Amino acid sequence: MSVRLPVLVVGAGPTGLISAISLLKNGVPVRIIEKRETFHGGIRGSGVTPRTLEVLSLIDVAQDVIDSSTAPLDFSSYEADGHTAKSAPWAEGAGTAQYYAFPEARIVSQAEFEALLRKHLGNLGASVETGKELIGFEQSDEKVMARILDTSTGNEETFLCSFLVGADGAKGRIRRILEIPFVGQTREEDRVLSGNVNVTGLDKEHWHMWGKMTQAAIGLRPMKTGSLFQMQALGHELPASLPTDLEGIRKLFQSISHRDDILIHDVEWVTEWRANIRMCEKFNKERVFLVGDAAHCHSLFGGQGMNSGIQDAMNLSWKLALVYHGRASMELLNTYNEERVPVIAEMLNLSSNIHYLAFGKPAKSALDGALGGEAAAEEKQATNQDVMHRPKVLLQLGVNCRWSPIVLETRADASASGAKDPYGQETARLRAGDRAPNALVTSVHLAATPESTTLHKLFDMHRHIVMVFVPGVNALGRLLKELEDIHDLLDAEAVRVVAILPKGTDHSSSLSRQLSEDVTAGKVQLLVDKDAEVRRVYDLDAVGAAFTYVVVRPDGVIGSFAGDVSGVRKYFEVLKAGGRP
Ligand SMILES: Cc1cc2nc3c(=O)[nH]c(=O)nc-3n(C[C@H](O)[C@H](O)[C@H](O)COP(=O)(O)OP(=O)(O)OC[C@H]3O[C@@H](n4cnc5c(N)ncnc54)[C@H](O)[C@@H]3O)c2cc1C
């Protein structure tokens, strides 16, 4: 690219904000515009999945989300008397198959989440320009010319950018300008009254629900702050005209719950949501990209929407940064589309199945077999618990892109394994294209005492990590020699090499003495696989004499399992060429 123009991000919902933050962290100048004068206050997408938390930790946002959120509370479904409730865990956790820094989803108001993202944006020296609406654009081989309206003055400006990230939501105009079909269905009859309400007389230890979802139900889910609850009412027996004022909402609540000891004393925000389940056939055209709801909208059941948008943003940003900095060709950007479209198609499938249960229609397939599949779902109406139960697959830890042209699997036995299953590879044999697992390790610094840490803490959004499994300290010299073959690729700005020493390696001062000058100069970071967990979760054989290389991408996905250093070279060459060498 001859002139380096900034990237324009359109829309300051979670997807736009995360796109902007991750691009800025990658050294790409960004302008982010939002047509609204004030920010959205709705709780809306309130469940943040473990996989989203992992990707948020790559941009240092995860801890703030943890601090502002609650754990997933048990779900209490009340009997007809309104007082007797059956409580059960709402969502399955990640389990113990490996170390998970975030073993369960967290619950936070989307408005609060967006506010903390804006704070992080501010820390990077940027801010959202409100009252600025994208009204059109044209693109050429070199740039995009965007037309932006100042909604308060009515003035129009032209802005030149290198790329345009369309995070303008489900009603956005960018996909229409691109003439990309938005395929799917609108189900006007499937409605949810959703809002932020303040409530007294109700415990904040449970997510409460009265009535039957398949008829008429109303739920109150506590948020961390004060007396704030997320209200959701649904069911085909709800009145045709749904209330939006305090008095009407109180009446609706009491008619379903029969509880006059619980007082809704304030309605901060309310909306009537109607099911619109659609996705774009493709997510980019040349220099313009669609992310989040702009590319796909879905049932709010399953809590996958906002999470998927965030993962779109993370998938795209590091690739845009490589192209922007001249480290990869434009073709790399097409892999955003190739990697995300199958994942989103499966997300729509999974969340729609829960949607069908909620609205009393037979599921096409049961998510976890708990309902016994289609036949059982037809025989009995789903209970509230059936609908609300979140199986492990929805934690998104198995989401993968094994089919991507830029992932490289060199192990003959692994390359053939696994049909395309975009959401579900967590239990199958790990391979390139999967989420890189986490593990507890010991980090060895010459100047300081060794410290316990995790593998994921080493991952970062602006660098690839080349993990090398070495048989012992004595092999480090040989490793450094081998790395010379790829020294042209090891730009410290973009790639970091981590040598993983086997369990039992002495990381005390005797080790320090054996380390070569180059290691101390920081070219290679040293870790000890203290419980042999890294080898186990990365599915590697016992320590042999040879090195094994695993390349982890900036979005925390395994880019390559490479048997030797030439495999690493091949991975970076394929990446640079965008999968089309
Ligand atoms: C009632 C309700 C409940 C929901 N519950 C859940 C849930 O439980 N779990 C879940 O995961 N998701 C849920 N969602 C969905 C979730 O809110 C969305 O998936 C999420 O907001 C998508 O984020 P986004 O950034 O892609 O788009 P949005 O949040 O829609 O942001 C798009 C932004 O772009 C701006 N914009 C549009 N056009 C322009 C333009 N031309 N120029 C400048 N700015 C523009 C808009 O004003 C908006 O601020 C719910 C949604 C609703 C409405």
DSSP string, 167-194: ---TT-SHHHHTT--EEEEEEEEEEEEE
Compute the distance between CA of residue 553 and CA of residue 560 in angstroms, rounded to an integer: 9
Residue 106 pLDDT > 80:
yes
* Separation CA 338–CA 517 (nearest Å): 43
Q: Whose CA is nearest to atom 42 of ligand 1?
A: 133
Proportion of the chain in helix, strand, coil states, percent, rounded to 5 = 30, 30, 40
Quick check: 163 and 307 in contact, CB under 8 A?
A: no
Q: Which of 18, 22, 35, 271 to mutate to test the pocket of ligand 1 (most atoms within 8 A of CB)?
A: 35
Distance 203 CA to ligand 1 centre (A): 29
Ligand 1 center to residue 170 CA distance, Å?
7
Atom of ligand 1 nearest to the CA of 39: 49
Q: How far is 341 from 327, CA to CA, in rounded Å?
A: 25
Q: Which CATH superfamily is domain 7-182+277-388 in?
A: FAD/NAD(P)-binding domain (3.50.50.60)
Q: Which uninterrupted H or E stretch holds 415?
A: helix 412-415
Ligand 1 mean position, distance from CA 45 (Å)? 8
CA of 117 to the centre of ligand 1 (A): 14
| Contact in structure between 353 and 323 (CB atoms under 8 Å) | no
Q: What is the pLDDT of residue 361?
A: 74
Pairing outcome for strands 216-222 and 144-150: unpaired
Closest of 352, 379, 384 to residue 367, by C-alpha = 352
Whether 379 has a pLDDT exceeding 80, the answer reads no
What's residue 426's pLDDT?
A: 55
Radius of gyration for the chain, computed over Cα atoms and rounded to the nearest angstrom: 25
Quick one: which H or E segment has residue 522? none
If we measure between CA atoms, which residue out of 196, 184, 170 comes closest to residue 264?
A: 196
- pLDDT mean over 11-25: 98
ipTM of the complex, rounded to two decimals: 0.98
Sign of CA dihedral 197, 200, 201, 207: positive
CA of 568 to the centre of ligand 1 (A): 39
Question: How far apart are alpha carbons 476 and 3 in whole angstroms?
Answer: 42
What's the CA-to-centroid distance between 309 and ligand 1, angstroms?
9
Structure tokens at 22: 């991750």
CA-to-CA distance for 401 and 432, rounded, in angstroms? 8
30-41, pLDDT tens digit by residue? 999 999 999 999
Q: Three-state DSSP class for 487? A: coil
Q: How many CB atoms lie within 10 A of CB 190?
A: 21
Binned at pLDDT 50, 70 and 90, residue 547 comes out as confident
pLDDT in tens, 128-158: 999 999 999 999 999 999 999 999 999 999 9
144-150 β-sheet, strand order:
132-139, 144-150, 156-161
- Distance (Å) from CA 199 to ligand 1 centroid: 25
The stretches of 124-234 forming alpha helices (DSSP H) are 174-177
Tell me: pLDDT of 535 over 50. Answer: yes
**Nearest CA owner, ligand 1 atom 30:** 169
Distance CA 569, CA 562 (A): 9
Locate the ligand 1 atom nearest the alpha carbon of residue 173 and give its number. 41
Identify each DSSP E strand in 246-383 by its residue range.
Answer: 263-280, 284-285, 288-290, 296-297
Give per-residue pLDDT as tens, 278-310.
999 999 999 999 999 999 999 999 899 999 999
**E strand intervals along 312-419:** 408-409
Report how far ligand 1's centroid is from the alpha carbon of 523 (Å): 43
What's residue 374's pLDDT?
Answer: 42
Instruction: Give the position, in ligand 1's atom list, of the atom nearest the Cα of 291.
Output: 26
Q: What is the mean pLDDT of residues 521-547?
A: 83
Q: How far is the CA of 86 from the centre of ligand 1 (A)?
A: 33
Q: Which of 563, 527, 505, 504 is nearest to 455 (CA)?
A: 527
Q: Tell me which of 87-91, 425-429, 447-451 is least confident.
A: 425-429
Report the separation in Å between the CA atom of 14 and the middle of ligand 1, taken as the mean of its atom positions: 7
Stretch 229-238: mean pLDDT: 95
Pocket-testing residue among 8, 65, 293, ligand 1, by greatest number of atoms within 8 A of Cβ: 293
Mean pLDDT of all residues in 82-110: 94
520/577 Cα distance (integer angstroms)? 33
Predicted confidence at residue 447, as pLDDT, reads 62
Ligand 1, residues 46, 110, 298: which to mutate, most atoms within 8 A of Cβ?
110
- For a mutational test of ligand 1's pocket, the pick from 272, 277, 306, 312, i.e. the residue with the most ligand atoms closer than 8 A to its C-beta, is 306
Kind and range of the H or E element at 345?
Answer: helix 334-358
Cβ-contact 21, 123 below 8 angstroms: no
pLDDT 10s digits, 484-532? 889 888 887 889 999 999 988 877 666 665 665 666 677 788 899 989 9
pLDDT at 417: 54
* Domain with residues 408-576, CATH architecture: 3-Layer(aba) Sandwich (3.40)
Q: Mean per-residue pLDDT for 97-121?
A: 96
Residue 375: the pLDDT is 39
CB 293 within 8 A of CB 171: no
Q: Which of 161, 150, 250, 234 is nearest to 197 (CA)?
A: 250
Task: Write out the two tokens for 267.
Answer: 């309605």
For residue 440, count other CB atoms closer than 10 A to its CB: 16
Q: Which tops the pLDDT comparison, 477 or 422?
A: 422
What does the pLDDT read at residue 373?
Answer: 38
CA atoms within 13 A on the CB side of 8: 29
| pLDDT tens track for 178-228 | 999 999 999 999 999 999 999 999 999 999 999 999 899 999 999 998 999
Rounded distance, CA 186 to CA 292, Å? 18
Q: How far is CA 500 from CA 244, 468, 471, 527, 550, in A?
A: 58, 6, 9, 5, 11
Separation of CA 110 and ligand 1 centre (Å): 9
pLDDT for the residue numbered 517 = 60
Residue 96 has, within 13 A of its CA and on its CB side, a CA count of: 0
Q: What is the mean pLDDT of residues 397-417?
A: 84
End-to-end CA gap in the chain: 19
Residue to mutate, 44, 53, 121, 196, ligand 1, most ligand atoms under 8 Å from C-beta: 44
Ligand 1, atom 14: closest residue by C-alpha: 45
Length of the chain measured in residues: 581
Per-domain residue ranges of the chain = 7-182+277-388, 408-576
Q: How far apart are CA 547 and CA 410, in angstroms?
A: 14
CA of 292 to the centre of ligand 1 (A): 8
Distance from chain centroid for Cα 512: 39
In whole angstroms, what is the distance from residue 357 CA to residue 198 CA?
29
**Is it the case that residue 475 has pLDDT exceeding 50?**
yes
Distance from the alpha carbon of residue 235 to the mean position of ligand 1, in angstroms: 23
pLDDT at 323: 96
**Ligand 1 proximal residues by C-beta, below 6 Å:** 10-16, 33-36, 40, 44-47, 110, 133-134, 167-169, 172-173, 194, 271, 273, 292-294, 300, 303-307, 309
Q: 233: left (phi > 0), else alpha (psi -120 to 50), else beta?
A: beta
Residue with CA nearest ligand 1 atom 35: 11
CA of 270 to the centre of ligand 1 (A): 15
How far away, in angstroms, is 114 Cα from ligand 1 center?
A: 11
Contact 106, 221 (CB under 8 A): no
What pLDDT digit, counting tens, does each position of 318-345 carry? 999 999 999 999 999 999 999 999 999 9
Judged by DSSP in three states, 248 sits in helix
Comparing 139-148, 233-242, 341-350, 467-476, the range with the smallest average pLDDT is 467-476
Q: Residue 172 is encoded by which pair of tokens? A: 């956005």
Taking CA atoms only, the protein residue closest to ligand 1 atom 31 is 13
Q: How confident is the model at residue 472 (pLDDT cuts 50, 70, 90)?
A: confident
Residue 424: pLDDT over 90: no
pLDDT band at 469 (very low <50, low <70, confident <90, very high): very high
Q: If you take atom 33 of ligand 1, which residue's CA is the nearest one?
A: 11
Give the number of the atom of ligand 1 that is nearest the alpha carbon of residue 133: 42
Q: Report the C-alpha gap between 437 and 272 in whole angstroms.
A: 40
* Residue nearest atom 7 of ligand 1, based on CA coordinates: 45
pLDDT of amino acid 365: 39
Contact 163, 287 (CB under 8 A): yes
pLDDT number for residue 515: 67
- Mean pLDDT score, 10-30: 97
